[in-house]
Amino acid sequence: MTGNKGKFEEARIVLSKFGIEPHMIDLDIDEPQTDSIDYVSKVTALSSFDALKAPLFVEDAGLFIHALRDFPGVFSAYVYSTIGLDGILKLMEGISDRTASFKSAVGFTCPAISPRVLLFEGKVDGTIAGSPKGSGGFGFDPIFISRDSRVTYAQMKAEDKCKTSHRARAMESMGAYLSSHLELIK
């Protein structure tokens, strides 16, 4: 469940390894306003299931900048759409601690598998670059450098990002779990 083509493409690449072919659906579901990406994923999955009555997953993610007390966090999409990369970099001016984390929470619901929403999480630690670099990816990808890399997510090929990103880690966990339940989600 997403209207974000970049998120969908990452999910498609990762889940294809498990024989899962996701379909992109953009529902107009209100997300709860909270400071927890886990809660947003769970509640949005339940609301989406109520609308579609079909197995589905939703993903919520955030960039958590440690020196900014984990801002923008769960509000990352809003912050990106309002102040963008330049705004975040302006907030980081003069700050030497550039450590950050990208976190992803995937809420999956299918009553035939579980009566509750299953949550799969992924996290990647890294740093905020001094300036945007690269033209790939989306969102804050041009300023995030994973701890295990020397380039931003936006400088990576999609296939390489999908080997290490926060979203890929959450999708890998979900794909591994669902691979033994494929007959129930088709």
Tell me which residues are annotated as active site: 60
Which residues, in sequence order, are CB contacts of 97 under 8 Å at separation 6+?
66, 67
Token output for 59: 């993903």
Strand order in the sheet with 71-73: 71-73, 56-65, 99-109, 118-128, 144-146
Other beta carbons within 10 Å of 75: 14
Q: According to DSSP H, which parts of the chain are helical?
A: 5-16, 37-52, 76-82, 84-91, 158-164, 166-178, 182-185
Token output for 45: 């999955």
Other beta carbons within 10 Å of 63: 28
The CA distance from 110 to 129, in Å, is: 40
